[in-house]
């Protein structure tokens, strides 16, 4: 009996240990600007669940995406590398828009270390539900080959332009949806289009709702074991498509005209109302996740994080000025100005994170690997990030700071940016004009980057040049090498 009792005690202890590992949910919006949540100053779009999440947790004011567009931001988030060291530098598109041409983006290579692989090593069940953009099923970049036990959603970013797709992917299998074939980039004739013509861009099954359905099932299926759920929703990325009942919530509040697709993506009768509806719909999905966690009594053992991959977009019927989408920050998606990379970031963990707190700690999404590594006691494999777990836990004296945060982006002319303390340097058009001067801004007094003071601080500019030489590694394809190219750009 003595040995049986000891054995039972050991098993009980091991089970208790397993259950004390915190669940982690990382919710990732797509093209959401810094100012598009009520918690960050938005007044026209309603986001009650994310505002509540902020009130119940910590809101970061100086948190950055690692890049100003989708694929590299996601790569750096999952690999813990900054723009000088990342494998994916830009949106390198393969294939086309039609189902028969679905080719995805440049895949992650075999053997790369990801957050999801690290979490598997720590004993976690891992799931990715949403937009992937880092490789198709038949490539090394498949999420199933990159540390995720389960995947559901879009593999190809181009397919994600349509919220009523013919299919999504479940693991490596095609999952047919009850939607017609829709060419979301088909433009309507503004002189002939009727209200009925806009129905062409509607379907029966709204992809974000399917993502939530699968996310709730993943949580239910893994409620008795530690899980890591990466939840990259496509909202509010274009096209402008939302269920009618959500659009109706905003119709009549704005002075708006139909959008006929003249700047790409789907046409819609109510572009302002539809965009607001998409953000509110995303907020509602977050609410469903929060409710599920609470219903399963997992609230106090679940860390939930929310952010976005880059700033608000600029075409397809979106009016970021009307909504003040970037909260007054300069720039937009595809820019290394603050408006392209500074993101909302909310962390909630009842009993661990002090509710209603605000942090000005400068952090960046490639810090996630280091943060979770410290939390679950794993090695990070040479990440560029710094754990912000002390900041989350209120141990501000223990919080290590970045000497600088480095950004490198080869598209949109080739751009560099460095944040060093309150100083922010930006260098544009580097591909064609590497001699171009750095711009320098003091974010403490000029968060919107309106006044270039580079002429007054030449020593800081010299430091930036030293940092670039230290942090830049040669890109593996010609299109992405713009800092020290080993080819004649005039002849290519």
The pLDDT score that the predictor gives to residue 2 is 46
pLDDT at 380: 87
pLDDT in tens, 241-299: 999 999 999 999 999 999 999 999 999 999 999 999 999 999 999 999 999 999 999 99
Rounded to 5 degrees, what angle do the CA atoms 124, 52, 60 make?
A: 70
Start-end of H helices in 230-298: 244-247, 271-295
What pLDDT score was predicted for residue 488?
62
pTM: 0.94
Residues 395 and 97: beta-carbon distance below 8 Å: no
In degrees to the nearest 10, what's the CA dihedral of 284, 285, 289, 295? 50
Q: How far apart are CA 312 and CA 335, in angstroms?
A: 10
Across 372-386, b (16+ Cβ under 10 Å) vs e yields bbebbebebeebbbb
- Closest to 287 measured CA to CA, from 306, 300, 274, 272: 306
Predicted local distance difference test score (pLDDT) of residue 185:
95
Q: What is the pLDDT of residue 62?
A: 98
| Amino acid 20: pLDDT | 80
Q: Which residue has the tokens 């403490």?
A: 444
Instruction: Kindly report the length of the chain.
Output: 492
Q: How far apart are alpha carbons 128 and 29 in whole angstroms?
A: 14
All structural domains of the chain, each given as residue ranges with its CATH number in brackets, are 22-398 (3.40.720.10), 405-491 (3.30.1120.10)
C-beta separation of 270 from 309 below 8 A: no
Residue 242's alpha-carbon distances to 146, 187, 268, 392, in angstroms, are: 31, 18, 10, 34
Nearest-Å Rg of the Cα atoms of the chain is: 23
Q: Which residues of the chain have pLDDT under 50?
A: 1-18, 491-492
483: exposed, middle or buried (C-beta count within 10 Å: 0-12, 13-18, 19+)?
A: buried
How far is residue 444's CA from residue 424's CA, in Å, rounded to a whole number?
A: 10
Tokens 């098993």 map to which residue?
Answer: 11
**What's residue 19's pLDDT?**
52
Q: What is the pLDDT of residue 487?
A: 67
Return the SS3 of 131: strand
- DSSP-derived secondary structure letter, 224: T
């Amino acid at each position: 009996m003595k040995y049986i009792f000891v054995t039972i005690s050991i098993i009980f202890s091991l089970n208790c240990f397993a259950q004390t590992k915190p669940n982690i949910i990382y919710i990732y919006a797509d093209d959401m600007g810094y100012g598009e949540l009520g918690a960050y100053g938005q007044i026209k779009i309603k986001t009650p669940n994310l505002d509540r999440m902020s009130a119940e947790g910590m809101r970061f004011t100086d948190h950055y995406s690692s890049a100003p567009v989708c694929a590299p931001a996601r790569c750096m988030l999952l690999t813990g590398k900054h723009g000088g060291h990342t494998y994916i530098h830009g949106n390198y598109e393969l294939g086309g828009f039609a189902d028969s041409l679905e080719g995805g983006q440049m895949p992650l290579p075999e053997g790369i270390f990801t957050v999801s692989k690290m979490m598997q090593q720590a004993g976690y069940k891992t799931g990715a539900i949403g937009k992937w953009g880092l490789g198709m099923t038949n490539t090394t970049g498949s999420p199933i080959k990159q540390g995720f036990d389960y995947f559901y959603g879009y593999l190809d970013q181009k397919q994600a332009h349509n919220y009523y797709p013919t299919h999504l992917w479940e693991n490596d299998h095609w999952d047919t949806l009850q939607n017609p074939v829709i060419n979301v980039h088909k433009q309507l004739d503004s002189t002939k289009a009727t209200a009925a013509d806009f129905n062409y861009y509607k379907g029966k099954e709204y992809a974000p709702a399917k993502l939530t359905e699968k996310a709730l099932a993943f949580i239910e299926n893994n409620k008795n074991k530690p899980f890591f759920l990466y939840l990259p929703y496509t909202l509010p990325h274009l096209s402008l498509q939302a269920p009618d009942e959500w659009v109706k919530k905003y119709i009549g509040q704005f002075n708006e005209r139909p959008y006929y697709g003249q700047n790409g993506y789907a046409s819609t009768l109510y572009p302002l109302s539809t965009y607001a509806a998409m953000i509110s719909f995303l907020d509602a999905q977050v609410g469903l996740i929060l409710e599920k966690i609470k219903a399963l009594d997992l609230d106090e053992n679940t860390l939930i994080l929310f952010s976005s991959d880059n700033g608000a977009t600029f075409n397809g019927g979106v009016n970021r000025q009307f909504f003040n989408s970037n909260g007054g920050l300069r720039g937009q998606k595809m820019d290394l100005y603050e408006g392209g990379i500074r993101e909302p970031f909310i962390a909630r963990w009842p009993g661990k994170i002090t509710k209603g707190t605000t942090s000005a700690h400068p952090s960046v999404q490639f810090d996630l690997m280091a943060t979770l590594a410290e939390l679950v006691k794993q090695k990070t494999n040479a990440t560029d990030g710094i754990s912000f777990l002390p900041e989350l836990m209120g141990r501000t004296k223990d919080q290590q700071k970045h000497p600088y945060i480095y950004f490198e982006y080869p598209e949109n002319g080739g751009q560099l940016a460095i944040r060093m303390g309150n100083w922010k340097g930006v260098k544009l058009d580097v591909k064609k004009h590497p001699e171009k001067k750095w711009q320098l801004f003091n974010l403490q007094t000029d968060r919107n980057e309106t006044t270039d003071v580079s002429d007054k601080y030449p020593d800081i500019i010299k430091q930036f040049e030293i940092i670039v030489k230290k942090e830049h590694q040669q890109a593996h394809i010609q299109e992405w090498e713009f800092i020290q190219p080993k080819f004649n750009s005039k002849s290519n």
